[in-house]
Amino acid sequence: MARKLVILLTDMPELPEVETIRRYLQQKIVNKTITKINVLDKSQFHGDQKDVVNNRIVAVERLGKVLAIKLEDKTYLNFHFKLSGQILYSNNAENAIFKNTIPLSSTNRMPGRSTRVIFYFDDGSGLFFNEMRKFGWVKYSPKIEGPKGVDILTSEFTLDYFKKNLQNTRRPVKVVLMDQDRFAGVGNIYANEALFDAKINPEISANNLTIEQLNHLYKSIIKVIKHGIKYHGSSGRDEVYILSDGSKGEYQYHFLVYQQEGKRCQRCGEVIMRIKQGGRSSFYCPECQKMLPKDELLF
């Protein structure tokens, strides 16, 4: 009997991971024309292939966690990675070989067992969209299919916007930070790291934060997002996230609190704790991120 592959997936690619992929593909696929699409799983591709074929790529953009390839006719190929999505690029789509074994594929050749869609370009190169869990998708659309919230790396993400969206809710601050209708691109990894940097407990009601805490947290969000991009994103415990050349991100080697439960806080020496919040794991230092009486939840 064949052995079943069981992998515990933790968190989906967030803004730094998708931005890393965007920057790589911007250098590789712009000005190439899509000559053919091979849809291996129809549930993963939404749109008419005939509208995409013979279209030239003019830019690679991003909104939150959504990657968007802009085509010459001003339409978009949108990619959402969800938990296990990957986009791999090869100079030779017909004989794609990578230096490293691709996670969830057990091979360094593409297509692999989780490849759902293949895009072929006019110079012989191509893209492979892999999605083991089939939660992710590729969607052809006249617009970027991103979330409603403001992207952290845009000029619209101002301190005033940030304060307004935290001061008007009693939900725990970490839950609010991960709300894609407010802050596009922030997920579990960077919410945990930002709260640790700002010395704020993840369970504090958002509207209980002081002006000083709000100011600090605003800077911390931007800081950890940029730090994540600097190290090409995080290939965490599951190592599912990879760059489009098959290599791994390195931000996981710089985690201060995320997935560090049981280890000593690098700032004070206390043991890092892990709790469940809204179905997700939160990590914090009980000393650096104390919950004071005035910070109690106001449900």
Instruction: Identify whether 69 is part of a domain.
Output: yes
CA dihedral 84, 279, 149, 143 (to 10 degrees): 30
Q: Based on the residue annotation, tell me whether 219 is a catalytic residue of this protein.
A: no
Q: What is the pLDDT along the chain (299 residues), one digit of tens a residue?
A: 344 444 444 568 999 999 999 999 999 999 999 999 999 999 999 999 999 999 999 999 999 999 999 999 999 999 999 988 999 999 999 999 999 999 988 899 999 999 999 999 999 999 999 998 888 999 999 999 999 999 999 999 999 999 999 999 999 999 999 999 999 999 999 999 999 999 999 999 999 999 999 999 999 999 999 999 999 999 977 778 999 999 999 999 999 999 999 999 999 999 999 999 988 999 999 999 998 765 554 43
Give the Cβ contact number of residue 158 at 10 Å.
12
Who's near 204: CB < 8 A, 6+ residues apart?
A: 172, 173, 291, 295, 297
* Rounded-to-integer distance, Cα 217 and Cα 182, Å: 15
Q: Based on the residue annotation, tell me whether 94 is a catalytic residue of this protein.
A: no
Catalytic residue among 248, 280, 286, 287: 280
Instruction: Identify whether 76 is part of a domain.
Output: yes
The whole-number pLDDT of residue 3 equals 40
The whole-number pLDDT of residue 134 equals 84
Instruction: Identify whether 3 is part of a domain.
Output: no
* Rounded-to-integer distance, Cα 177 and Cα 79, Å: 22
> Of 85, 71, 112, 121, nearest to 244 (Cα)?
85
Taken in order 243, 5, 190, 224, the sign of the CA dihedral is negative
Q: Based on the residue annotation, tell me whether 172 is a catalytic residue of this protein.
A: no
Same domain? 196 vs 98: no
**pTM attached to this predicted model:** 0.93
Secondary structure element (H or E) that encloses residue 116, with its range: strand 115-121
Same domain? 184 vs 264: yes
* Rounded-to-integer distance, Cα 12 and Cα 188, Å: 9
* Rounded-to-integer distance, Cα 284 and Cα 193, Å: 9
Q: Based on the residue annotation, tell me whether 65 is a catalytic residue of this protein.
A: yes
Catalytic residue among 32, 65, 116, 182: 65
Residue ranges making up the domain that contains 97:
15-141
Same domain? 154 vs 114: no
* Domains in the chain, number: 2
Same domain? 22 vs 94: yes
Strand order in the sheet with 85-90: 34-39, 115-121, 126-131, 85-90
The whole-number pLDDT of residue 286 equals 97
Contact 72, 55 (CB under 8 A): yes
- Listed residues 141, 172, 200: the one ending a domain: 141
Which two tokens mark 286? 């009980």
Instruction: Identify whether 244 is part of a domain.
Output: yes
Owner of token pair 């690679």: 60
Beta strand segments in 229-291, E: 273-277, 280-284
The whole-number pLDDT of residue 297 equals 45
Same domain? 51 vs 154: no
Taken in order 65, 66, 69, 73, the sign of the CA dihedral is negative
* Rounded-to-integer distance, Cα 33 and Cα 198, Å: 46
Same domain? 201 vs 102: no
Catalytic residue among 14, 131, 145, 193: 14
